[in-house]
Amino acid sequence: MTAAVEAVDVRRSYQLDGLAVEALRGVSLRIDPGEHVAVIGPSGSGKSTLMHLLGCLDRPTSGTLLVGGRDVSTMTDAELAELRNRTIGFVFQSFQLLGRTSALDNVGLPLVYRGNRKAERRQRAAAALEAVGLGHRLGHLPGQLSGGEQQRVAIARALVTEPSVLLADEPTGNLDTRSGAEVMRLLARLNADRGVAVVVVTHDPEVAAMTRRRIGVRDGLVEYDRPEVAG
């Protein structure tokens, strides 16, 4: 089986005031299709850097990163952008929705970059919103939705391209406890129903406990990698 994403001895360093700072110091991990995983660690552990690499938003300084079996180091920026659009969905803590755009058109936005026609975009966006329980909110603006609803719109946007991997960076960080739990249950359901690999980046052990595998990151290294019983 080809891994959804795989990192082999991946390192990422940055220049800060003339000094090299290693955010990742040789990380190896494999996420298979259909897995439900939490990457957990404290602030500064390297987990967000790892998410950006797994999502092809950045490239490793050294090591090998494979997405769907393809080595990203051999790809041009344009090829990497296309791979990202067709393979990976993103959910962020801050939702990143367009404030003056309806839920329907926010969700359909990734399909604009694919060249899909408006009617098809709207049809697929409506189906994605229905899948996250927001079929009755198609015309609402983000400001007319609760925080939990806005995050569900963001999840629908991530799913509308039918990605093989969904990366969620602190998806409950701006939500109250109840809304956060609802979002995590939704991600678990979508993982089970659609077979999309879900990777949740978090600092919260309670959030991580709702996945089936935990990868602990500390000081730029994988500290542990073990299965968990979903909560």
pLDDT reading at 46 higher than 60: yes
Q: Quick one: pLDDT band at residue 19, thresholds 50, 70, 90?
A: confident
pLDDT reading at 231 higher than 80: no
Tell me the two tokens of residue 202. Answer: 């978090």
For the chain, the average pLDDT equals 93
Q: Which pLDDT score, from 0 to 100, does residue 228 have? A: 66
> CA–CA separation, 40 vs 179, rounded Å?
20
80-107 mean pLDDT:
93
Q: Which pLDDT score, from 0 to 100, does residue 227 have? A: 85
pLDDT reading at 230 higher than 80: no
DSSP 225: E
Q: Quick one: pLDDT band at residue 21, thresholds 50, 70, 90?
A: confident
7-31 mean pLDDT:
92
Q: Which pLDDT score, from 0 to 100, does residue 147 have? A: 94
CB-based contacts of 229, cutoff 8 Å, min separation 6: 212
Q: Which pLDDT score, from 0 to 100, does residue 123 have? A: 96
> CA–CA separation, 210 vs 59, rounded Å?
29
Q: Quick one: pLDDT band at residue 220, thresholds 50, 70, 90?
A: very high
| Domain spans in the chain, listed from the N-terminal domain onward | 5-227
Q: Phi/psi of residue 92, each to 5°?
A: -115, 160
Q: How are strands ordered across the β-sheet holding 221-227?
A: 88-92, 165-169, 197-202, 36-40, 213-218, 221-227
Tell me the two tokens of residue 136. Answer: 């009755």
Instruction: Compute the 3-state secondary structure of the chain and give helix, strand, coil in percent, each to the nearest 5.
Output: 35, 30, 35
Q: What percent of the chain has pLDDT over 90?
A: 85
CB atoms inside a 10 Å sphere around CB 112: 11
DSSP 92: E
Model pLDDT for residues 200-215, shown as the tens digit of each residue: 999 999 999 999 999 9
> CA–CA separation, 73 vs 31, rounded Å?
19
CATH superfamily of 5-227: P-loop containing nucleotide triphosphate hydrolases (3.40.50.300)
51-79 mean pLDDT:
93
Q: Whole-model pTM?
A: 0.92
Task: Please calculate the CA angle 118-75-109 and round it to the nearest 5 degrees.
Answer: 20
Model pLDDT for residues 166-202, shown as the tens digit of each residue: 999 999 998 999 999 999 999 999 999 999 999 999 9
pLDDT reading at 91 higher than 70: yes
Q: Residues 47, 26: contact at Cβ < 8 Å?
A: no
Model pLDDT for residues 98-122, shown as the tens digit of each residue: 999 999 999 999 999 888 899 999 9
CB-based contacts of 6, cutoff 8 Å, min separation 6: 29, 30, 31, 64, 65, 66
